[in-house]
């Protein structure tokens, strides 16, 4: 994985801990991956596996008592971890932006829609003349399919889908390169969700920005994403092209996850696969590979050593001992064909 | 004005009516139904039973309880409080018409002081939560809450008018000046401005400083606490996180976004604070010999003037209900979720 | 891909994970509570500090006799002594040849005793006579001491009259006599008027010569009795009402809520004043008057929580399994409201003590001369210019006790309040 023109963000060995009363919670552990320019990357995993934490860490929005304990985030060639406050503020909003799950609460209830957008412009580009800012807002909002008269509305007067589009607008108004959508469609109904997903794709084409879609809805990821990262208990266990992973999942967790998704075919009455065991308590994560207590393929080795994130075929990374060598390993390593 | 706002306000006005009714009924219960004979306590044990009966007759206290109740309700609603038993034949409503402005003149500056001081330090403490300055502000708020208001007043009197005599000890105005001062509205500050009497104005203001400072400071504790708690909650709201993710400066997030939203719950709290404020005013007025409603109430209780007492408490009840109504109106105008 | 990057210069969060947090899951329960002081920071210290203060106050309240040197109602010395000031002693002056040794000898009603008019010696004379009579009564003798006081305009006049034998003896302070007594060789100082404790009182005495220190010690007991019992009465009324009202809903709930809201919005002290004024003075009446004020607070909080707990899944589940309503209330809902009750309780006690002091200050609470802080403050108000100590010490005492209770409530709420908890 060399940094080249295609790569927008490089995340290397990122770990985040929440320091709670009950001890540290290892919410993200030694995660490495890249986000390419203009791609839609899906990040999926069970609830509580650290997806939101990872998303916030990308913007360095981890607040005490949590802390990024180690790792590097290289955004467009610059080390985000080295930014000072001012740089960081500029970075957020102008280069990267985030949309949250609950559209009801993520806009300021006493601020009008246009005030949100104009404020964003004025904070980041203080020299902008108000008229220009308003003009930009109007153009953008039109593109997002919100009527202009809605600009003078308060957030509570908009529907959920519209609010999320305003949130997207807030990311676009400053031409951010990456938008992180953290379960942005979860609270919308199916039809609005579908529309929003279409819109996200269009926006990607039009503005050429990258979108990190965080969700536990695999069907959504299948529809929208170019690549997919599967996360389990604070670690990314598998990363690759969407078609490859759906056709041929490698990591035992991914296999389990995909077979527990209900099929949409109506005549399909087969019993859903249920993964045994519970997701681990991240205060005391299992040793070695964090998935080994639930893994059908677990080997003695798995409980003692943590595997690496290895590129098994070009563009396909797996975090599993099945696919990599170790001197103490009894079974032979599986070779994956490209 | 949109129809939803109008509906809200109309509903709210209708809700005030049962509230006033309950409060007046409460006054009735306290005054007439609780054990204890107001007439006996008024006249003292030496007076004969005939005289007591005569007074009961005069006040209509020998009628059946329900008749008394409806009579009482009617008189309260029509503001017909009768005449005081102890102050010649002066109608109580006239007396209260002089006392109420005094109380308002004392409480308004106190409320302004406490609101500004309390909101600013509460918001600052919330921003600096768990830092030393936060604990300092909280300790201060607990301390001013814990000091009895009259004790604080007495200490201020000792310091600022006995030891370092820069401010007057008590009253609303220099007694000498009172002789040629004709109050119109009974808001002395207003009156002295209207008459262009600047000496009187200065005297009023200097008399106002200590009592309203005492009252304001005593309330600040509660205010800081409430602002801080609400701000902390607001700072954890999603739209603050979203704003941070948009790169808005922290200052702006705290003092513009969070604080503006905190005003909405705080406004409701100011309404509730008014109850504490009035209670505090009774003690402050007694300490500083301020001739307001509270002072009047305590004096009449001492004189056992039962008609005056019940009228005063009734007026307090009205006052509370109206303030809470006014606060709700203000609230409706500030919160866009109600306005639209 | 394996370059390890650790950034210590993280400016965004100058937050370095302290060692104790890393230690947390390696220590036992007791150590955990102790380590909690670092987690909760100042609040932990607030709780500990106020707990110690309260322990101390409660011990004083239970055993005031251990701490108070004097009877709080007894007039133990001359009035308005400043803190630490010794009472001025008075001496008896008489003719050398009269052979008088002590005051007792000339204290019968046949005798005349001289004093300077309107001086402290008149009070000293009165006190000395009272003391003699008390002594006689205690010994079972008739209490007949009652010398006739003769008042003089000046000290010289009085001494001259004494020298001339017009009065049997003369009473004055030694400081006054200095330099004057020498002019009357036929007079001598026979000794102290009575054996007095020459030491002062640490907080001084009030206008009727009671020891302020003893009074505020005994005042603690009154404050605690009123504060705690009125809070308990409010709980006993407010909590069950709130539970039931929130649980059964319906018109009963609506009426009760309206009632409680109206009560809540009314200025508490004014309500207490009117109740206390109608009921009359007495500790029981004060407790009732104050208890009424806090019933709505418990009611509102408990009702609100009952409503939200009622919706929780496990309560729904228990209900669908056929648990009795009383079981659900007691086993599922009540335990959830306990933390809030604890918080309100301590704030409530603080408030009740303040209200009680306020009522007494207005002369509406307790019978006069009860050793009570509010009463002492009200009395001291008249002596503001002369004697600052009359109000200072009772006032500080009210503030301290209230502070202890409200500090406990405030920090408990910061620790227990789930709305504020970050984690
Ligand atoms: N403020 C916090 N304090 C302590 N632990 C936290 C906090 N926030 C999250 N965690 C823990 O960190 C882990 C990851 O949380 P995170 O919110 O990132 O999960 P998630 O994958 O986004 O879950 P979901 O799908 O439910 O949104 C969880 O195990 C959670 O218990
Ligand atoms: Mg999440």
A124 at B interface, C-beta within 8 A: yes
What is residue C7's predicted lDDT score, i.e. its pLDDT? 39
What is residue C350's predicted lDDT score, i.e. its pLDDT? 92
Counting the structural domains of chain A, the total is 1
Q: Are strands A66-75 and A7-20 parallel, antiparallel or unpaired?
A: antiparallel
Q: Whose CA is nearest to atom 26 of ligand 1?
A: A47
ipTM of the complex: 0.85
What is residue B40's predicted lDDT score, i.e. its pLDDT? 64
How many CB atoms sit inside 10 A of residue A292's CB? 21
What are the tens digits of pLDDT across the range B195-247? 888 888 888 899 999 999 999 999 898 889 888 988 988 888 888 988 988 88
C10 at A interface, C-beta within 8 A: yes
Instruction: Kindly give the number of the ligand 1 atom that is closest to the alpha carbon of C422.
Output: 1
What is residue A248's predicted lDDT score, i.e. its pLDDT? 85
The answer to whether residue A162 is domain-embedded is: no
The stretches in chain C having pLDDT less than 70 are 1-36, 38-39, 87-88, 193-199, 313, 417-423
Sheet holding A316-318, edge to edge: A96-99, A178-182, A210-215, A40-45, A227-232, A235-241, A316-318, A310-313
Three-state DSSP state, C191: strand
Q: How many CB pairs under 8 A join B and C?
A: 159
Percent share of chain C, pLDDT over 70:
86
Burial tier of B263 (Cβ tally within 10 Å: 0-12, 13-18, 19+): middle
What is residue B190's predicted lDDT score, i.e. its pLDDT? 83
Structural domain boundaries, residue A245: 1-89+229-263+271-338
Q: Tell me how far apart the terminal alpha carbons of chain A are, to the nearest angstrom.
A: 17
- Whether A97 and A176 have beta carbons less than 8 Å apart is answered as yes
The residue whose two tokens read 């109430």 is B297
- Give the total residue count for chain B: 340
Chain B contact probe: residue of A106, A171, A180 with most B CBs at under 10 A:
A106
The answer to whether residue A132 is domain-embedded is: no
Q: Are strands C187-192 and C91-95 parallel, antiparallel or unpaired?
A: antiparallel
Is residue A231 in contact with ligand 1, taking CB distance under 6 Å? no
B98-302: CATH architecture? Orthogonal Bundle (1.10)
Q: Whose CA is nearest to atom 18 of ligand 1?
A: A50
Output phi, psi for B117, to 5 deg.
-60, -45
The answer to whether residue A192 is domain-embedded is: no
Tell which residue, A170, A125, A14, A3, has the closest CA to residue A76: A3
CA distance A238 to A241: 10
Burial tier of C28 (Cβ tally within 10 Å: 0-12, 13-18, 19+): exposed
Interface of B with A (CB under 8 A): 237-239, 241-249, 252, 257, 260-261, 264, 334-337, 340
What is residue C28's predicted lDDT score, i.e. its pLDDT? 62
- Whether A38 and A204 have beta carbons less than 8 Å apart is answered as yes
Helices (H), chain B: 3-28, 38-43, 49-59, 65-77, 92-127, 132-146, 149-157, 175-178, 188-194, 198-235, 238-245, 250-252, 259-287, 293-303, 306-334, 336-339
What is residue B86's predicted lDDT score, i.e. its pLDDT? 64
CA distance B62 to B41: 16
What are the tens digits of pLDDT across the range C43-86? 888 888 888 999 999 999 999 888 888 888 777 777 777 777 77
Q: Which residues of A touch C17 (CB under 8 A)?
A: 17, 19, 24, 67, 69
Question: What pairs with residue C145 in β-bridges?
Answer: C108
Enter the tokens of residue A260: 């527990």
Instruction: Kindly give the number of the ligand 1 atom that is closest to the alpha carbon of A51.
Output: 21
Chain A contact probe: residue of C1, C4, C18, C25 with most A CBs at under 10 A:
C1
What is residue A269's predicted lDDT score, i.e. its pLDDT? 57
Residues B312-333: b if buried by 16+ CB within 10 A, e if exposed: bbbbbbebbbebbbebbeebbe
Instruction: Kindly give the number of the ligand 1 atom that is closest to the alpha carbon of A49.
Output: 21
A105 at B interface, C-beta within 8 A: yes
Is A61 in Cβ contact with B247 (below 8 Å)? no
A89 at B interface, C-beta within 8 A: yes
* Chain A residue whose CA is closest to C35: A21
What is residue A3's predicted lDDT score, i.e. its pLDDT? 43
Q: Which ligand is nearest the CA of A56, by number?
A: 1
User: Which CATH number fits the domain that encloses residue A233?
Assistant: 3.40.50.300
Q: Which residues of A touch B127 (CB under 8 A)?
A: none
Is residue A57 in contact with ligand 1, taking CB distance under 6 Å? no
The answer to whether residue A183 is domain-embedded is: no
What is residue B35's predicted lDDT score, i.e. its pLDDT? 63
Q: What is the DSSP letter of B182?
A: -
- Whether B13 and B325 have beta carbons less than 8 Å apart is answered as yes
Enter the tokens of residue C181: 């007594």
Domain residue spans of chain B: 3-78, 98-302
The stretches in chain A having pLDDT less than 50 are 1-3, 266
What is residue C220's predicted lDDT score, i.e. its pLDDT? 92
Ligand 2 midpoint to CA A59 (Å)? 15
Is residue A281 in contact with ligand 1, taking CB distance under 6 Å? no
The residue whose two tokens read 């008249």 is C382
What is residue C176's predicted lDDT score, i.e. its pLDDT? 74
Q: Which residues of A touch C10 (CB under 8 A)?
A: 67-68, 81
- Whether C209 and C267 have beta carbons less than 8 Å apart is answered as no
Q: Whose CA is nearest to atom 23 of ligand 1?
A: A48
**Model confidence, pTM:** 0.80
Sheet holding A23-36, edge to edge: A23-36, A7-20, A66-75, A78-79
The answer to whether residue A17 is domain-embedded is: yes
Is C21 in Cβ contact with A23 (below 8 Å)? yes
The stretches in chain B having pLDDT less than 70 are 1-3, 33-47, 84-89, 338-340
Q: Which residues of A touch C39 (CB under 8 A)?
A: 21
Question: How far apart, in Å, are the Cα atoms of A96 and each of A61, A127, C359?
Answer: 12, 21, 62
């Amino acid at each position: 994985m060399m940094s080249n023109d295609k790569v927008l963000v490089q995340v290397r060995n990122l770990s985040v801990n929440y320091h709670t009363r009950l001890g540290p919670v290892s919410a993200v552990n030694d995660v490495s991956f890249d986000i390419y320019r203009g791609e839609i990357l899906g990040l999926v995993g069970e609830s509580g596996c650290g997806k939101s934490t990872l998303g916030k860490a990308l913007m360095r929005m981890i607040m005490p008592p949590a802390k990024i304990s180690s790792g590097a985030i290289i955004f467009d060639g610059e080390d985000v971890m080295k930014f000072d406050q001012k740089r960081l503020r500029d970075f957020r909003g102008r280069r990267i932006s985030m949309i949250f799950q609950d559209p009801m609460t993520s806009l300021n209830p006493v601020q009008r829609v246009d005030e949100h957008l104009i404020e964003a412009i004025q904070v980041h580009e203080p020299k902008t003349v108000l008229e220009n800012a308003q003009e930009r807002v109007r153009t953008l909002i039109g593109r997002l399919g919100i009527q202009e008269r809605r600009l003078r509305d308060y957030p509570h007067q908009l529907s959920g889908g519209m609010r999320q589009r305003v949130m997207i607008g807030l990311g676009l108004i400053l031409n951010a390169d990456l938008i992180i959508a953290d379960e942005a469609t979860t609270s919308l109904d199916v039809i609005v969700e579908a529309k929003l997903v279409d819109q996200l794709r269009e926006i990607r084409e039009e503005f050429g920005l990258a979108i990190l879609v965080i969700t536990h809805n695999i069907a959504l990821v299948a529809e929208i994403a170019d690549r997919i990262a599967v996360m389990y208990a604070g670690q990314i266990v598998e990363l690759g092209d969407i078609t490859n992973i759906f056709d041929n999942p490698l990591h035992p967790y991914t296999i389990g996850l995909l077979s527990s998704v209900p099929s949409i075919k109506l005549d399909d009455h087969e019993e859903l696969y249920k993964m045994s065991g519970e997701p681990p308590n991240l205060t005391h994560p299992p040793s070695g590979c964090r998935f080994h207590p639930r893994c059908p393929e677990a080997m003695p080795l798995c409980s003692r050593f943590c595997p690496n994130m290895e590129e098994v075929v070009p563009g396909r990374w797996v975090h599993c001992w099945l696919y990599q060598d170790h001197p103490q390993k009894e079974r032979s390593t599986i070779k994956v064909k490209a | 004005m949109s129809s939803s706002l109008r509906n809200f306000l109309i509903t709210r006005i209708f809700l005030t009516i049962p509230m006033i009714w309950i409060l007046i009924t409460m006054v009735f219960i306290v005054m007439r139904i609780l054990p204890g004979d107001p007439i006996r306590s008024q006249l003292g044990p030496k007076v004969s039973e005939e005289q007591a009966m005569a007074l009961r007759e005069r006040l209509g206290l020998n009628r059946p309880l329900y008749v008394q109740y409806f009579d009482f309700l009617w008189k309260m609603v029509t503001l017909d409080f009768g005449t005081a038993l102890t102050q010649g034949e002066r109608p109580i409503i006239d007396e209260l018409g002089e006392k109420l402005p005094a109380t308002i003149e004392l409480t308004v500056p106190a409320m302004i002081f406490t609101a500004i001081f309390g909101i600013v330090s509460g918001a600052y403490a919330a921003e600096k939560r768990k830092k030393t300055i936060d604990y300092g502000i909280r300790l201060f708020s607990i301390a001013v809450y814990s000091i009895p208001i009259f004790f604080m007043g007495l200490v201020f009197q000792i310091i600022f008018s006995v030891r370092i005599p820069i401010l007057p000890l008590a009253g609303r105005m220099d007694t000498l000046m009172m002789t040629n001062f004709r109050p119109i509205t009974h808001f002395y500050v207003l009156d002295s401005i209207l008459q262009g009497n600047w000496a009187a104005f200065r005297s009023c203001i200097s008399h106002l400083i200590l009592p309203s400072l005492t009252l304001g400071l005593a309330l600040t504790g509660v205010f800081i606490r409430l602002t801080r708690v609400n701000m902390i909650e607001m700072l954890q709201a999603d739209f603050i996180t979203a704003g941070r993710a948009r790169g808005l400066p922290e200052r702006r997030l705290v003092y513009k976004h969070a604080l503006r939203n905190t005003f909405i719950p705080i406004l409701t709290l100011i309404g509730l604070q008014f109850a504490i404020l009035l209670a505090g005013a009774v003690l402050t007025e007694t300490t500083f010999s301020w001739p307001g409603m509270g002072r009047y109430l305590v004096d009449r209780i001492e004189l056992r003037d039962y008609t005056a007492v019940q009228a005063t408490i009734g007026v307090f009840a009205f006052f509370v209900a109206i303030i809470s109504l006014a606060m709700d109106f203000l609230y409706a105008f500030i919160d866009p979720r109600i306005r639209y | 891909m394996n370059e390890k990057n650790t950034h210590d210069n993280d400016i965004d969060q100058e937050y370095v994970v302290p060692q104790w947090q890393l230690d947390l899951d390696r220590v036992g329960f007791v150590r955990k509570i102790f380590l909690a002081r670092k987690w909760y920071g100042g609040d932990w210290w607030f709780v500990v500090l106020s707990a110690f203060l309260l322990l101390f106050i409660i011990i004083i309240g239970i055993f005031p006799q251990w701490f108070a040197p004097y009877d709080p109602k007894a007039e133990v010395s001359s009035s308005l002594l400043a803190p630490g000031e010794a009472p001025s002693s008075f001496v008896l002056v008489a003719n050398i040849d009269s052979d008088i040794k002590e005051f007792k000898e000339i204290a019968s009603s046949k005798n005349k005793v001289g004093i300077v008019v309107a001086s402290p010696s008149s009070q000293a004379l009165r006190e000395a006579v009272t003391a003699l009579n008390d002594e006689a009564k205690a010994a079972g003798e008739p209490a007949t001491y009652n010398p006739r006081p003769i008042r003089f305009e000046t000290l010289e006049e009085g001494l001259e009259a004494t020298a001339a034998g017009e009065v049997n003896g003369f009473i004055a302070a030694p400081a006054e006599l200095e330099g004057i007594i020498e002019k009357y060789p036929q007079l001598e100082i026979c000794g102290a008027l009575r054996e007095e404790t020459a030491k002062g009182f640490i907080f001084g005495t009030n206008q009727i010569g009671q020891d302020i220190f003893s009074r505020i010690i005994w005042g603690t007991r009154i404050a605690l009795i009123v504060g705690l019992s009125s809070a308990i009465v409010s709980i006993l009324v407010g909590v069950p009402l709130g539970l039931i009202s929130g649980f059964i809903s319906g018109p009963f709930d609506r009426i009760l809520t309206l009632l409680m809201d109206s009560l809540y919005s009314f200025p508490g002290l004014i309500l207490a004043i009117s109740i206390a004024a109608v009921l009359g003075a007495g500790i029981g009446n004060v407790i009732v008057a104050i208890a009424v004020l806090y019933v709505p607070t418990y009611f509102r909080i408990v009702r609100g929580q009952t409503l939200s707990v009622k919706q929780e899944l496990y309560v729904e589940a228990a209900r669908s399994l056929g648990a009795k309503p009383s079981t659900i209330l007691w086993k599922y809902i009540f335990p959830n409201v306990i933390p809030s009750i604890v918080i309100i309780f301590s704030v409530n006690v603080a408030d009740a003590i303040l209200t009680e002091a306020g009522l007494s200050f207005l002369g509406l609470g307790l019978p006069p001369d009860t050793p009570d802080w509010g009463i002492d403050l009200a009395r001291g108000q008249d002596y503001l210019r002369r004697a600052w100590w009359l109000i200072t010490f009772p006032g500080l005492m009210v503030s301290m006790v209230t502070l202890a209770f409200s500090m406990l409530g405030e920090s408990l709420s910061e620790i227990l309040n789930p709305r504020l908890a970050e984690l």
